[in-house]
Structure 1
Amino acid sequence: MSSAQDKSWDRWSRFKKKGEMRSFTFPRINCPKAGVNKIDKGVLTLSKIGSMPVVMHRELPDRFELKTATIVRKADGWYVAISVEEDSIPAPKPIDEVKTAVGIDLGLKSFLVTSAGESVDVQQHYRRTQKHLARQQKRLSIKQAGSINHQKQKEKISCIHQRIGRKREIFHYLVAAQLVKQYDLIAVEDLSIKGLARTKYRRYM
């Protein structure tokens, strides 16, 4: 960003407490009164902030309509998540047309077990990183709170957690994609994931 854009951004974020602003959403894209005036060819233009280059994860498809843009702050920087809409996406298949179906049960010893007898092992991303994470947290504990080094170490630990989260996300996506390709209907157990996430078992998820 240029210095003028930095000033605009600072004025916009001044009303937020430190550490409070993690994400915000613009409901319209690529129209005159939208918060996101334009996103095209690797350049994002925000209302009252200006234009800035962005790294595009993939090209925006022509046939889709851009709906919302969410600016998200993560451990290693800022991200823009674009939601799109396309009318030709197929509707769910009627029950009488289902040819293959499977039930899945999430577990702790195995990530999941299917009614067909298939199982997927737990990847244990967190467990494999525990010792390294513990060393970094110990280094944080001996640094003076509020110092630059303390903040840098906090950011380093946040990046470790981010990498763990990304590995889990990719793993979940690959497993889900395989199941979707293999079966017309997938039945899952009605679990309270939020409740489970508050227990000691959350590190295995």
Structure 2
Amino acid sequence: MLLVTYFRHPALDWLNRTRCQVDHCSSISCPIGEISSRPDYYFQQSELKQTKQLFPDYKEIYSEVQQINLQRLDKAWKHWLIPDSSGKRGGRPRFKKSGKLRSFCFSRVNHLKAVIKFDGKQIIATRFGAILVIVHRPIPDRFTIKTATITKKAIVHRPIPDRFTIKAVGIDVGLKEFLTTNTGETISVPKFYRKSQSNLAGKQKKVSRKEIGSNNWKKAQTK
């Protein structure tokens, strides 16, 4: 639902047509064809109509969602091609797998022409219907919701029984002390290896005296 570009991206085609190896050209062929201007957001937005003709499934996607995805894509290309004030550039954009894109955005909420409505308890979409929303904090007065992002995540909220919350203890693990609780109790480092080091050295001597691979050697190794 979120793929809004061709399988052969116009920006990739433009790069392939306008670039070649700095030290040699192809020995077979190097067709460049007609070189158009660099494709940008407005160019790709104008191609959405043709995209829907080539891929009829795109007609089921909100046009607003497709335009926002093109904006995100254009921003990623510019971040890669144009360095910032410190001279750093982002990585080259890559095609995302179907499982990587799990969200889609809407630039208008509760607008007369918006496809997304929010009544304080649920999101109402023209194609999805009503989606119940858990509002984790109240919306301040005189604030207006302008955009909406719907994300698919596997989140399961399970209430914690009171018997666990009453006896909950906070623990901080450190270097000087093994752990410190929220009540101020400290537990020193156990030093298991240091305490058993001499005993381990004696058992290692016994292993070295056995014939490698014998049953007695295996028993000594186990100990």
TM bucket, shorter chain: under 0.3
Provide TM-score, normalisation by structure 1. 0.27
Provide TM-score, normalisation by structure 2. 0.25
Task: Indicate the structure with greater strand content.
Answer: 1
Higher relative contact order (CA 8 A, sep 6+): 1
